[in-house]
Structure 1
Amino acid sequence: MAQSDQSWHAPDAATIEAMAREALAGLPAPFGAHLGAVVLLVEEFADEDTLDALGIEDPFELTGLYHGRPVGEKSSFDSGAPPDRIHLYRRAILDEWVDTGVDLRALVHHIVVHEVGHHFGLSDDDMHRLEGE
């Protein structure tokens, strides 16, 4: 194996966030109109409380998570509630990227669409159709 002058570095949180924002910006208009208040966070791993609540032991198994109420369940009584959030877990995403060989931008797009799908209460079939658009 030839050695390069430049060493390889895993994409940082800012790079993952930029890819995720690009994926959000590329969603069809009806979805984008409802996503303005959703906060996007890129963290290394999910915290222990989150993993415990989901019954997940290995933090590498969780690449993203939507926190909040789906659009169809919101009401005017929700004022004062924290904003909805999409959490992306960088180390788990990078691990899946390396394991699967899927293009990183495509993987981040897939995760974002899946989490946005939860925001809108979409089925897995709906999310697959959205991902294809």
Structure 2
Amino acid sequence: MTIEEFEKQVEEALKTIPSEFREKLKNIEIDVDDSVPKKTGSLLLGQYNGVPLSDRSATFEPLMPDKITLFKQALEMISKNAEELKKNIRDTVVHEIGHYFGFNEKDIRKRGF
């Protein structure tokens, strides 16, 4: 899948997020990194960097946008075909957005993120 096709799938994944959450997505950037991150342990598919909404005060004003990075090659490595890749992109986008809202791994699973 080309970077452009991958980014289109990211856009499609964002459309699947319930509107009550989607409307609260502010000052967040989603990047696609065409590499496999060097990390010990499990394969990293995506990563959220920022201050979760649940940790922000009423006066919090970020200087830089929060950032979600999706690792294209890692997602391709775990996907058997194009349909599975689309599902894995969606699942990863939704999962990382769960972290943006301050959900931990247990909350993410419970809420269907």
Structure number having the greater helix percentage: 1
TM-superposed deviation, 1:57: 3.5
- CA deviation digits over 1:24-52, x for unaligned, max 9? 121111210121421010011266xxx5x
Residue 23 (1) aligns with residue 23 (2):
no
Separation in structure 2 between the aligned mates of residue 71 and residue 77 of structure 1, nearest angstrom: 10
Q: How many residues align?
A: 111
Is residue 41–residue 87 contact of structure 1 (8 Å, CA) maintained in 2?
yes
Task: State the Cα distance separating 1:23 from its structure 2 match.
Answer: 1.1
1:97 positional shift? 0.8
Larger Cα Rg: Structure 1 or Structure 2? Answer: 1
Aligned to 1:42: 32
User: Where do residues 105-116 of structure 1 align in structure 2 (5 Å cutoff)?
Assistant: 105-116=86-97
Aligned to 1:91: 73
Change (3 A) 1:66 1:92: same
Gaps spanning 5+ residues in structure 1: where?
Answer: 1-10
Gaps of 5+ in 2: none
When normalised by structure 1's length, the TM-score is 0.71
The aligned counterpart of 2:50 is 68
- Root-mean-square deviation (CA, aligned residues, Å) is 2.5
Query: Residue 104 in 1 paired to residue 94 in 2?
Result: no
CA distance, structure 2, for counterparts of residue 22 and residue 101 of structure 1? 14
Structure 2 distance, partners of 1:69, 1:103, is: 31
Deviation, 1:79, is 3.5
| Residue aligned with 2:70, SS | strand
Identity of aligned residues (%): 28
TM-score, reference length from structure 2: 0.82
Opposite residue 120 of structure 1, the aligned amino acid is F
